[in-house]
């Protein structure tokens, strides 16, 4: 099911602009998403376009559009039954500070396909304040969790 959300007047500075938040993958600007993740994000530096495409194909994605131009993105890696991992959340720099990231995260966290999920997770180095508004907290029992982490995998892939 394609869910679309239209909002106006998110804040006083942009009250004349139309906002669309959509899970329609056909609307996504792959080159913009790849450029941001590969060059501007701290978590996916050097990621290939092929990897970005594959990650989008296998995730629930949301695009954030302002006056028909994509300015943000996020994706949820999920089995749609028990587990979901929120990642690749961004709003382009010049559009930050208007509440857009909060609106984007709100829409994906309340997506119909994610009802009944037992555990949501994410990793962030700088947006704890944003995610705490959606009840994300530090791990209650970090000793239960393990990981394999390859932080520079995209730079090393040539």
> Per-residue pLDDT tens for 101-144?
999 999 999 999 999 999 999 999 999 999 999 999 999 999 99
Task: Give me the residues paired with residue 73 across strands.
Answer: 63, 90
Question: Which two structure tokens, joined as six digits, stand for 111?
Answer: 């997506």
Beta pairing, strands 4-8 & 69-78: unpaired
CA distance 80 to 83: 7
CA distance 100 to 106: 10
Cβ pair 52, 30 in contact under 8 A? yes
User: CB-based contacts of 153: which residues, under 8 Å, 6+ apart?
Assistant: none
Q: Which domains does the chain have, with CATH numbers?
A: 4-156 (3.40.630.30)
pLDDT tens for 34-76 read: 999 999 999 999 999 999 999 999 999 999 999 999 999 999 9
Alpha-carbon separation of residue 36 from 50, 72, 76, 146 (angstroms): 14, 10, 17, 29
């Amino acid at each position: 099911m394609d869910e679309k959300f239209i909002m106006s007047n998110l804040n006083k500075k942009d009250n004349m602009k139309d906002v669309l938040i959509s899970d329609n993958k056909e609307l996504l600007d792959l080159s913009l998403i790849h450029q941001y993740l590969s060059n501007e994000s701290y978590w996916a530096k050097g990621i290939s376009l092929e990897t970005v495409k594959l990650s989008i194909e296998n995730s629930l994605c949301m695009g954030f559009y302002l006056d028909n131009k994509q300015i943000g993105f996020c994706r949820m890696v999920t089995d749609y039954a028990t587990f979901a991992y929120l990642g690749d959340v961004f709003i382009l720099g010049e559009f930050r500070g208007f509440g857009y990231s909060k609106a984007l995260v709100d829409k994906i966290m309340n997506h119909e396909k994610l009802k009944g999920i037992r555990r949501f997770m994410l990793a962030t180095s700088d947006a704890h304040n944003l995610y705490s508004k959606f009840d994300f907290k530090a791990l209650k029992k970090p000793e239960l969790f393990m990981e394999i982490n390859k932080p520079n995998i995209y730079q090393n892939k040539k």
